[in-house]
Amino acid sequence: MLLEQFIDSFKYILLTKKPTSPGLRAVFYINKKMLFKGRSLKSMRFGQPCVYRKNGTIIFRTRAGGHKRSYRVIDFVRRMNAGVPGSIVRIEYDPNRSAFIALVFYKNRAMSYIICPAGVRLGDVVMNHWKFRTGGVVRTGDSCRLRLMPLGSVIHNVELFPGIGAQMLRSAGMHGLLLHKFVQSNKALVRLRLGKLKVLPLDVVATLGIVSNRYARTVVIGKAGRNRWMGYKPIVRGVAMNPIYSGYIIMNSIFFKRRNIYIHPSILRKINAGHTRIKTMSRASTIRRDFVGKVFYVQICVYKRKKNKKKFRK
């Protein structure tokens, strides 16, 4: 009975299409009927730069074409409108990220986009408890400092340093767990989704809950053309190219040695001429007087020499 309920729960999240063509046979896509159908707010979106420069050179390899998209301005800082309740007016699709976004309308008539947490519905109230925790209980979608959160809280949209905005746990389905607080050193211990432990300041701001669209990684594209719609070109391995077009030295013909280089005092007479250099894989660094008597750990590129094997006939 429990297994049947678990399978039925996926029927409304992951959908398939009738296989009228080979490209639709293996397609799995997310049900987006609950999302807002109109366009995003004009005051909170702007155009994105092209992947080409003005002179035609490519900025990003394997990225070109695709459907035109605009960038939505997301409030990652969550310090504006502190203590002002806001209700969720829309839940929208964002082409620039895997998670959904929510439009919040605050009581002081301000509006902003936030990363939509899982389980949030239209009309729910969220609040930024940055300065103090008002209203008692912190609900899903509320943001406050780690200092004010209870232990065991499930969080996302976490800052690395106070005031710079959320940089961790922002993609679909991501979340962390607040494990411990070190009050004397003003640090907090957070466990990330894959088990990694992170030590953060207690005054960083985080949001309660899990990021929405947790099944985004189960989507099956089905055909190569859909990747081109999203702006991705086919990837060609550098080994399959001519060496001049590969962008890097072919790794099959070289290997790297790490050596400790000691700068001997007898090299002082060559320093004045400026001819002595330390050769590494990326550049040749000139030896200065400060280097004499010190040891440097460098990486040296060494080419493999192919040995000619003589063939003997029987």
**Residue pLDDT, tens place only, 176-213:** 999 999 989 999 999 998 889 999 999 999 999 999 99
Nearest to 203 by CA among 217, 185, 176, 179: 185
What would the mean pLDDT of 5-23 be, rounded to a whole number?
73
Assess if residue 231 is contained within a domain.
no
What would the mean pLDDT of 141-165 be, rounded to a whole number?
91
Hey, is 290 helix, strand or coil? helix
User: Which CATH number characterizes residue 214's domain?
Assistant: 2.40.50.140
Neighbours of 285 (CB within 10 A): 13
Q: Is the pLDDT at 11 greater than 60, yes or no?
A: no
Mean pLDDT of all residues in the chain?
79
Is the same domain home to 40 and 158?
yes
How many degrees, rounded to 5, is the angle at CA 142 between CA 138 and CA 144? Answer: 80
**Residue pLDDT, tens place only, 246-292:** 665 444 444 455 555 565 666 555 555 555 554 444 445 555 556 66
Assess if residue 243 is contained within a domain.
no
Q: Is the pLDDT at 301 greater than 50, yes or no?
A: no
Nearest to 211 by CA among 180, 168, 178: 168
pTM of the model: 0.72
- Confidence band, pLDDT 50/70/90 cuts, at residue 12: low
- Confidence band, pLDDT 50/70/90 cuts, at residue 298: low
Is the same domain home to 155 and 256?
no
* Boundary-marking domain end, from 218, 237, 271: 218
Range of the domain at 77: 9-218
Is the same domain home to 171 and 266?
no
Q: Report the distance separating Cα 299 and Cα 288, nearest Å.
A: 19
* Boundary-marking domain end, from 218, 236, 263: 218
Give the whole-number percent of the chain exceeding pLDDT 70: 71
| Structural domain total, the chain | 2
Instruction: For residue 248, give Cα distances in angstroms to 201, 233, 251, 252, 253.
Output: 40, 20, 8, 11, 12
Least confident of 36-40, 119-123, 212-216, 243-247: 243-247
Is the same domain home to 80 and 202?
yes
Q: Is the pLDDT at 224 greater than 50, yes or no?
A: yes
Is the same domain home to 272 and 135?
no
Q: What is the pLDDT of residue 263?
A: 58
Residues 6+ apart with CB under 8 A from 152: 177, 178, 179
Assess if residue 223 is contained within a domain.
no
